[in-house]
Structure 1
Amino acid sequence: MASVLAVCVVRTLHPDSGRSGVTAIDKGPVDGPVRANDYGLYADVQADRKHHGGLDKAIYAYAQEDVDFWASELGRDIPYGFFGENLRTEGIDVNGARVGERWRIGDEVIVEVTSPRVPCQTFARWMGDDSDGWVKRFAEQRRPGPYLRVVKRGSLAAGDAITVLDVPAEAPTIRSLAR
């Protein structure tokens, strides 16, 4: 069964040498339910709203199965929220999801898959790599995770089931768009 392992929101804004001067990539898990609204999760922020956030990038999901791959590759633990994800999932191929695919999370929230994450230099700096090395490495693996639009607002929490409601048959997958 597909489920949410953790719901993560920003813990601290950190200084960053990028254009906005700060980053909100440092996310961590919260206890209990969190409201999902049109622009994302309650208590979460995006420092660079031009490239992150907005209606089509309200929530970022990343799969534990992909985290396990990266933990093995990097030789380190990757705690919930470390990749800047709002949802750490399990049991659903988030990169095989098709654009327009809809999921129900818990009893209330409905989201729609919109696009893959495009790794950026802020992510590279967060990972301790100021070169293009991390961006290229992350992109080449085609495990970007999807951004989600909130179709129906409500509360969600760790432990909630994820149910796939609709899959557009001819739409591209997140993995295919990550080429």
Structure 2
Amino acid sequence: MASVLSVNVGRPQDAAWAGLGYTSMDKRGVDGPVRVHRNGLVGDVVSDTKHHGGPDQAVYVFAREDLDLWGERLGARLRNGHFSENLTTEGIDVNGAEVGERWRIGTAEVEVCHVRTPCNDFKNWMGVTGHDNKAWVKRFALEARPGPYLRVLQEGVVRAGDEIEVVHRPGHGLTVSTLFRALNLDHSLRPLFDVPEILAALGAEGRAKIEEYVAATV
């Protein structure tokens, strides 16, 4: 059964290695119900609001299976929330989810709309948590398993142990992994997303990049 293993939140903490001098990357699991609203989880505070947060990046998801994969490569056990995800999941291929796919979690309904792009703070975070961060951004990107950002369609309450029910799968076949490759690794894939249904489901940043590339190649 697909489920949420951990619901994770973070608040700004001083960090000399972070671009702003502070960060909310250290997210920790919380017990009990957590309210989900259109901008994210109650108790989770975004530090870098220029590049993160908002309705198109309300909830970040990463799979326990992918944490275990990276843990094997890094020679360490990565805890739930280690990659700053809000929801650590189990039993669902979050990178095989389609853009516009909708999930019911607890009493909330969410939609896959964007992907995480690794940044310098993520690289530095891996270093301060005791893991090899050499060329980390490149290593993470080449794997093309970034985990999706979710848009909140119906506000509600989630908690660890909640089932993840896929209530709508668009069927166009364009996945989180393919979107990541199109935006970051292989721009020639971008015309694949020039479909009204897909563009409507994408976050504003991804949609702008797709439209810009398609316009330039016409």
Q: The TM-score by the shorter chain falls in which range?
A: over 0.9
Question: Residue type matched to 1:143 in 2?
Answer: R
- What are the Cα deviations for residues 94-146 of structure 1, in whole angstroms up to 9, with x where unaligned? 0001111100002x100000111000000000001897700000011111000
- Find the aligned partners of 1:16 and 1:138 in 2 and give their Cα distance: 23
Q: CA deviation at 1:23?
A: 1.1
* In 2: Cα distance, 1:65 partner to 1:81 partner: 13
2-side partners of 1:131 and 1:44: how far apart? 25
Show structure 2 runs of 5+ residues with no match: 182-218
Residue 154 of structure 2: aligned partner: 152
Name the amino acid aligned to 2:180. Answer: A
In structure 2, C-alpha distance between the alignment counterparts of 1:159 and 1:131, rounded to whole Å = 32
Aligned equivalents of 2:49 and 2:137: distance in 1? 20
Match of residue 178 from structure 1: 180
Tell me how far 1:21 sits from its aligned partner: 2.1
Contact 1:11–1:28 (CA under 8 A) maintained in structure 2: no
Query: Could you tell me which residue of structure 2 aligns to residue 121 of structure 1?
Result: 120
Structure with bigger RCO (C-alpha 8 Å, 6+ apart): 1
By percentage of residues, which structure has more helix?
2
Higher strand share: 1
The equivalences for 1:46-57 within 5 A come to 46-57=46-57
How far 1:29 moved relative to its partner?
Answer: 0.1
Structure 1 runs not aligned, ≥5 long: none
Name the SS for the 1:89 alignment partner.
Answer: strand
Alignment-derived partner of residue 30 in structure 1 = 30
Q: CA deviation at 1:169?
A: 1.6
Whether the 8 Å CA contact 1:7–1:157 is kept in 2: the answer is: yes
Q: CA RMSD in A?
A: 1.6
The runs of at least 4 aligned residues of structure 1 exceeding 6 Å deviation read 129-132
Question: 1: distance between equivalents of 2:81 and 2:12?
Answer: 12
Partner letter of residue 162 of structure 1? I
Contact 1:121 1:132 in 2 (8 A): no
TM-score, normalised via structure 2 length: 0.78
TM-score by length of 1: 0.94
Q: Distance in 1 between matches of 2:173 and 2:21?
A: 37
Q: Partners in 2 of 1:64 and 1:130 — Cα distance? A: 20
CA contact (8 A) 2:12 2:45 kept: no
Structure whose alpha-carbon radius of gyration is higher: 2
What amino acid sits opposite 2:109 in the alignment? I
How do 1:127-142 and structure 2 match up within 5 A?
127-128=126-127, 133-142=135-144
Sequence identity (%): 53
**CA positional deviation for 1:15:** 1.5
Matched, 1:109 2:111: no
